[in-house]
Structure 1
Amino acid sequence: MFVLHVALQGCLKGCDVQYGLTADTGGHIRYLLDLVEAAAELHPTHRHVIATRLFDGMGEAYTRTVEPCRPGVEIIRIASANPAYLPKEDIHTEVASFAENLIAHIEAGARPDVIHAHYADAAQVAAIVRRRLGIPFVFTAHSLGRVKQAMLDGTGDMTGMAQRIAAEELALSQASLLIASSRDEAEVQYALYDAYDPGRIRVLPPGSNLSAFRNAVPSARIEAELARFLRQPDKPCILAIARPVRRKNLTALIEAYGRNAALRDKANLILVAGTRDDIETLDGEMSSVMEDMLRLIDRYDLYGQVAYPKHHCPQDVPGYYAYARARCGVFVNPALNEPFGLTLLEASAASLPLVATDSGGPNDIIETCGNGVLVDPRNPDDIGRAALRIIADERLWNRLSRAGDAAAAAYDWGRHARRYTGLLNGLRQPAALQPTRPNKLLVCDIDNTLVGCGEGIRAFRDWRPSQSGLSFGVATGRSFHSAMAILEREDMPRPQFLITSVGSEIYHLDANGVTYNSDRAWQRRVARSWEPDKAMACLSNVEGIIPQAPLEQRPFKLSYFSDGRSATAAQVRVRLQKAGIEASVIHSHGRYLDVLPSGVSKGSAVDFVRRLLRLPIEAVIVAGDSGNDVEMLRSVPQSIIVANHSDDLPNLPALRHSYVSHDTHARGVIEGVAHFQMLAGVPCKAAS
């Protein structure tokens, strides 16, 4: 497979990248170089070419037309109309000329199978190439204009924003597949766009080569450099590593530190904010942000307590984490929005507890690793309190420090590359789909039903191909992207459809065998009587329930945590009924409570799919393990309750017809299917 990556922004080269050299020489370059290295390592016969701009004035490296990186990977530099380096706000002026020259380059040599566009300007180029040559393209946004626009709220430089957002709308409408780094990006950020289509987005968290951070030790050079700034260099420290641009929000961190006397007494503040010789010569907004940072340091008289070194190279970064770890410090990412957060993974691997923005990828990282605290990046006091709480509590610091070990296993480039190349191969060679008219339908819950047991997962993977004529789908409380992430992580067979968010959304596998299409007819049906604002207001003061995180709220689902005592599902139903609000209430695992449009559940969604496939109810088998599966299990005669069930399902009168398996998880599903096939006189293959 030949993948052509297009990335126009920043000073991109194969090694020794000077991050922070310009405002646009940032994490997307690191992501791209690590991605192609991991993909090349996984498949040595594949070819990856990175096409970027050729420009003068920033050094000889950026005038080389071809730069070999490693076997199977090279960078090519394509000229555009303007030979000078340009900031991202002006790149749109070069799209047409760059695309023409790229097309000429492709036509003169090998034709790529897929183009991967990085940032919206590259997507514009890819769209032109697709129109002319028919090559499909994949899009990674890295950051989104509408998100930045909302973050700055008219207070920052909006130059080029209209063109950028238009380019992102184009990318969303024309890309064959969109790759997001986090659920927040896939479900919240992309949802701001008119062309938003959840089924064409996949969440693939970037990996990170973390061994250098896990084993790093403080260097004498870094110790000496920071000692120049600090009166008491041995105190714990708050560490931040980010370019000095507005969205990284370093000024809020200085405010947080300056306004919290207890924090200043306990810790120093270290700001590793790019590389500079003279602030006045910094590119773009970096100069004004650095000036703002220095003004705040002066306002709060933080001299001797704050370090802000002028230079560092990539090899120094592990040493900064090690310096902070040795002093029982914390790493803080206060960005207004962080699409993913590679520095958070690095800090995690270095055993540093995290304080991170609640906007973007840090939600996923801290949920996965359990090694930090999420904060509102617009509230400096919130940031300061969180940092102080961790630094002042030795037991908490130790617990969060140890939890960071999970980062290396969870965010691995090898795993990312396997999923990535699998998706691209699917676009290049669409898989043969099941017949359009299956004669059987199997619908399974995911958590603790399909997954949760490695042996069961392997058995299901082996068993599924033997079930000819069987349409396989899942029904879950998870969102679409959360469900796809766990299914792909476990390498489960790709479902023909997904019923997600407790039945409130349905997605069908596209003809390409990779992406999914939202069921608009079901969406219109569930929206008819849904009044989420009224329901939320009605439940705002109910004792014993609290809303789950914003990321867990869906267009047709409100999600709460319940204490399981004072706020039962019945009590919530009564409260809604008294307010004249039509809604379904589903309680599961003793602590999750979901409020849905009236009549919406996994059961009603399964019946909708059954009717769509024109199958009789006798052709349907469903499997589940908990309270949010009750409606699905109740409504289908052939129901399987797996042995590891919760919520006392077998003793519910409405589920007496169900088959309770002896085996757990996916092996229990296979056992149950075999049971019903035997009753019907159908030869079947049991779990091996």
Structure 2
Amino acid sequence: MSETKFSDAKIALISLHGLIRGHEPELGRDADTGGQVKYVLELAKELGQRKDVSEVELITRQIFDSRVSDDYAQVEEQLADNVRIIRLPFGPKKYLRKEALWPYIEMFIDQALIHFKRHGLPDIIHGHYADAGLAGAYLSRLLHIPFVFTGHSLGRVKRERLMANASNAANIEKTYNLTQRIEAEEFALETAAMVVTSTNQEVEQQYGIYDHYIPARMEVIPPGVDLDSFTTDPVDAEKTPIVQQLNRFLREPDKPIILAMARPDERKNLEMLVKIFGESERLQEAANLVMILGTREDLRDLPKSQRKIIRHVMTIIDVYDLYGKIAYPKSHHPSEVPLLYRYVTQTRGVFVNAALTEPFGLTLLEAAGSGLPIVATNDGGPRDIIANCKNGLLVDPLDEKAIEHALLRILTDPEKWDEWSKNGLEGAREHYAWSNHARRYLRDLNDILSTSPPPALASPANRRQIPKFDRMIITDLDNTLTGDDEALHELIEMIKANPNVGFGIATGRPLASAKKLIEELNLPMPDFLDIAVGTELYYGKDLVLDTSWRNQIGYQWKRDEICEALSSLPGFYMQSDDHQSEFKISYEIDKSKAPNLTEIKRTLRQAGLKASVVLSLDMYLDIIPVRGGSEYSMRHFLYRWGFAPEKVLVGGDCGNDEGMLKGRTLGVVVGNHSPELNRLKKWPRIYFAEGHHARGIIEGIHYYQFLDNIIIPNDSVDEQLVENQS
């Protein structure tokens, strides 16, 4: 049982993309700075007010870019006494769209480990969206800290929608990296102790299509609304700049307002709304239409997809000659949004969200909290909101007449308008206050923490098992150190001549086999020995076992059941006993007969088994525990003994080395590497040597000037990689 009392709990919220700051968040500035940013900020602030939470950290990306405010370069921003934003640098300094962040997730993980080492481990890690889901789940597995996941939107759902409207699957994949995103979501779902969702429909129709969907882990906890900001307090129109902006567009500004507020996205169905208004004389007589489409300085600078939507809207306005009847200001201040809702309520108007799909709909809650009746799409969150608040009408987003009639009913029935307005105010406070969300959230976290053992790395090691080296060289054994005796001898002498440099080996071989080969090669016994694909760790000549790693590695490991699940697959051949170990099952596979990696993983998932699958040299397949693998074991080693990743050179040649090559360490791929590593050729801090075997490691040592004042020339690869992915 955990020794952590929930009153002492520290919560780490991770949200990596978009622009996050506490004061005047730039919501709607771009596709990545919207509802999720608002959600994590308000969740962090609310949790910080609870007596049973000691500290909340909202961890995001540090950005240095002249195109955005210097606020995003600040390492820390205090939101409350015990709540702060932490910005960690990873990847290029400039602002990136979320699809371009994937190559740098391991860098974030390494930075987060450094942060936790300095400031203490959290008790809960909560990842938001797929990118932070991947990073948070990885940190959870490594540190053995319970993990919570909120997807916000999901890759499988997006792929289905995009494929239904387009035929070029390759372009969709190139633009959105959906395969990587979906695999990250599966990884997060597999790891999560709890998945926080907004609606039952989201659980059943979205999470339900994932291999790692486990209904018992799903918790429907609707987001809250800031009821201090969204009120019915009167607005002085003449002294309110946003109202004056609207009035510049409108011939009859005293009419009720139909308000739509959404970033320009094809899912939001904005063009249809303008078309409905343009074709309805009754709507034009009854009200003005106001479209708040994010903010823009120059339309030409917007992403192509957003620019296209706004130009379509403007074209429809022109076709129906709606000038003087519709307002579409180019920008607004975030603090003006509550004023806008209140003003529209004063005009006895209506808020409309006719999006094609709507996972939740925070704007609907803001309207409800302002006493503004709503018309909303009959999908996802709006169903629950209107069922709870009884403050408006649901419509089919593709039925133009239904949308027109719903808007007219609210605008022309004063008694129903009053009823819906009153219901919205009461329902928002009863069902969607942030205090209610936090209470249910913390109740569930308390259940998780009460059954979770304390993290092994929360306690310092009893005594240091390795000398205090200045830096470390860690390499694979087979095909990296073997194959060139002359170069290997030169490498050994180089390490011996630098006593400040530690030497480590990471190999897929079990202990007896690894020791035998080390002796045959006349290698010194390594200071750090990582064997059996990162499932066992030993230190020094006496091979002292890392018991903290050993005690955690067997989490949910079911060796016999895994063997049984894979026994019927074609092209699978069990390797000999000397390649097997307690936490490693090794096969040779015939790729012409065997299923691909995705299908192998799915077989295990569908059998309810948790395991990692590692393919090397296109023929050697290892199945290990979810907490195993050289990428985890090496970072465990660095964290436990305080090594900076920038002072660790890692060398390898095949697929089971990939995890430890990525990140903030200095990677070297030898010239005789297997094809599966080619995908890392443009990744930062991974050098592809021309020299084979140990000669390639020596080449990498010189490339980084590793034995002198270390340099990292391939950090500049970042910019090229981003351009290729953008």
TM-score tier after normalising by the smaller chain length = 0.5 to 0.7
C-alpha separation in 1, matches of 2:209 and 2:102? 22
Contact 1:23 1:285 in 2 (8 A): no
Q: 2:410 aligns with which of 390, 398, 419?
A: 390
> Are 1:167 and 2:184 matched, yes or no?
yes
The CA deviation string for residues 48-99 of structure 1, in whole angstroms up to 9 with x for no partner, is 1011111221221111112222111111111112222111222222212111
Where does residue 316 of structure 1 map in the other structure? Answer: 336
Instruction: Compute the displacement of 1:138 (Å).
Output: 0.2
Which residue of 311, 336, 351 maps to 1:331?
A: 351
Q: Say whether the 8 Å CA contact 2:232–2:345 is kept in structure 1.
A: no
In the TM superposition, 1:216-295 aligns within 5 A as 216-218=233-235, 219-220=237-238, 221-283=241-303, 285-295=305-315
Cα distance in 2 for partners of 1:45, 1:199 equals 25
Displacement of 1:330 in angstroms is 0.7
* Alignment partner of 1:70 out of 55, 70, 80: 80
Aligned residue for 1:214, secondary structure, equals: coil
The alpha-carbon distance between structure 1 residues 211 and 101, as it changes in their structure 2 partners (threshold 3 A), is closer
* Greater Cα shift, 238-247 or 378-387: 378-387
State whether structure 2 residue 157 is matched by structure 1 residue 147. Answer: yes
Aligned positions, number? 432
Task: Give, in whole Å, the separation in 2 of the partners of 1:426 and 1:387.
Answer: 45
Give the CA RMSD over aligned residues: 1.9
Task: Provide the C-alpha distance between the structure 1 equivalents of 2:245 and 2:401, rounded to a whole number of angstroms.
Answer: 29
| 2-structure distance, mates of 1:360, 1:153 | 21
Residues 106-125 of structure 1: matches in 2 within 5 Å?
A: 106-125=116-135
Unaligned runs of 5+ in 1: 433-688
The letter for the 2-side match of 1:180 is: T
SS of the equivalent of 1:115 reads: strand
Pick closer, same or farther for the CA change 1:255–1:195 going to 2, 3 Å: farther
The equivalent residue for 1:377 is 397
Q: CA 1:315 to 1:127, structure 2 compared with 1: closer, same or farther past 3 Å?
A: same
Of the structure 1 ranges 232-241 and 3-12, higher mean CA displacement relative to structure 2 is found in 232-241
8 Å contact from structure 2 (residues 283, 404) kept in 1: yes
1:67 maps to amino acid: E
Give the whole-Å Cα distance in 2 for the aligned partners of 1:191 and 1:256.
35
Q: CA separation in 2, counterparts of 1:431 and 1:23?
A: 37
- 1:197-230 deviation digits (Å, cap 9, x = unpaired): 1111001111112233223323322332111111
- Equivalence for 2:195: 178
TM-score (norm 1): 0.60
Query: Which residue in 1 is equivalent to 2:438?
Result: 417
In the TM superposition, residue 113 of structure 1 has moved relative to its aligned partner by 0.8
Partners of 2:100 and 2:452 in 1: CA distance: 41
Alignment counterpart, residue 36 of structure 1, candidates 37, 44, 56: 44
Determine the structure 1 residue equivalent to 2:56: 48
Contact 1:330–1:391 (Cα < 8 Å) also in 2: yes
What's the % identity of the aligned pairs? 42
What does the per-residue CA deviation read over 1:416-443, in whole Å, with 9 as the maximum and x for residues that have no partner? 11111121122111299xxxxxxxxxxx
Report what 1:197 is aligned to.
214
Report what 2:101 is aligned to. 91
Which residue in 1 is equivalent to 2:112?
102
* 2:365 is the counterpart of 1:345: yes
The one-letter amino acid of 1:304's match is G
Of 123, 140, 146, the residue aligned with 1:130 is 140
Counterpart code for 1:344:
L
Match for residue 368 of structure 1? Answer: 388
Indicate the larger mover: 16-25 or 255-264: 255-264
Aligned 8 A contact 2:47 2:53 in 1: no
Rounded Cα–Cα distance in structure 2 between residues aligned with 1:151 and 1:233: 39
Q: 1 CA distance for matches of 2:321 and 2:254?
A: 20
Q: In the alignment, which residue of structure 2 is the partner of 1:443? A: none
Deviations 1:127-184 (A, max 9, x none): 2212322122100111222333344454378322222222222222221110001122
C-alpha distance after superposition, 1:20-48 (max 9, x if no partner): 22221001111111111111111275111
Under a length normalisation based on structure 2, what TM-score does the superposition of the two structures give?
Answer: 0.57
Take 1:302 and 1:252, find their aligned partners in 2: how far apart are those partners?
14
User: Quick one: which of 202, 206, 218 aligns to 2:223?
Assistant: 206
Deviation at 1:283, TM superposition (A): 4.2
Deviations 1:628-685 (A, max 9, x none): xxxxxxxxxxxxxxxxxxxxxxxxxxxxxxxxxxxxxxxxxxxxxxxxxxxxxxxxxx
The 1-side partners of 2:411 and 2:10 are apart by 49
Residue 50 of structure 1 aligns to a residue whose secondary structure is strand
Deviation at 1:323, TM superposition (A): 2.1
- Contact 1:206 1:411 (8 Å CA) reproduced: yes
Report the Cα distance in structure 1 between the residues aligned to 2:353 and 2:129, rounded to whole angstroms: 22
Q: Report if aligned partners of 2:127, 2:137 keep a CA contact under 8 Å in 1.
A: no
Moved more, 286-295 or 364-373: 286-295
The C-alpha deviation readout for 1:316-336, integer Å capped at 9, x for no partner, is 112211222222211001222
Change in Cα spacing, 1:170 to 1:330, as seen in structure 2 (3 Å) is same
| Equivalent position of 1:407 in the other structure | 428
Q: In the alignment, residue 431 of structure 2 is paired with which amino acid? A: A
Deviation at 1:308, TM superposition (A): 0.6
Structure 2 residue aligned with 1:60, among 43, 66, 70?
70
Determine the C-alpha separation between the residues in 1 that align with 2:243 and 2:140. 52
Contact 1:216 / 1:318 at 8 angstroms: preserved in 2?
no
Partners of 1:229 and 1:304 lie apart in 2 by 5
Residues 45 and 79 in structure 2, CA contact (< 8 A), matched pair in contact too:
no
Distance 1:306 1:290, change over 3 A: same
- Mapping of residues 568-583 of structure 1, within 5 Å: none
Counterpart-to-counterpart distance in 2, 1:400 and 1:190: 32
Asked if 2 retains the 8 angstrom alpha-carbon contact of 1:22 and 1:284, the reply is: no
CA drift of 1:344 comes to 0.9
Deviation of 1:413 after TM superposition, in Å, equals 1.0
SS in structure 2 of the partner of residue 301 of structure 1: coil
1:513-565 CA distance string (max 9 Å, x none): xxxxxxxxxxxxxxxxxxxxxxxxxxxxxxxxxxxxxxxxxxxxxxxxxxxxx
- 1:493-572 correspondence to structure 2 within 5 Å: none
Question: 2:29 maps to what in 1?
Answer: 21
Structure 1 contact 353–397 (Cα < 8 Å) conserved: yes
How far the C-alpha of 1:395 sits from its partner, in A, is 2.5
* CA deviation profile, 1:345-404 (whole Å, cap 9, x unmatched): 111122211101112111111000111111122333332221122212222222222211
Query: What is the deviation of 1:284?
Result: 5.9
Q: Please say if residues 225 and 369 of structure 2, whose CA atoms lie closer than 8 Å, have aligned partners that are also in contact.
A: no
Residues in 2 aligned to 1:47 and 1:371: alpha-carbon distance in whole angstroms: 37
Tell me the equivalent position of 1:575.
none
| 8 Å CA contact 1:54, 1:63 repeated in 2 | yes
**Equivalent position amino acid for 1:182 in 2:** T
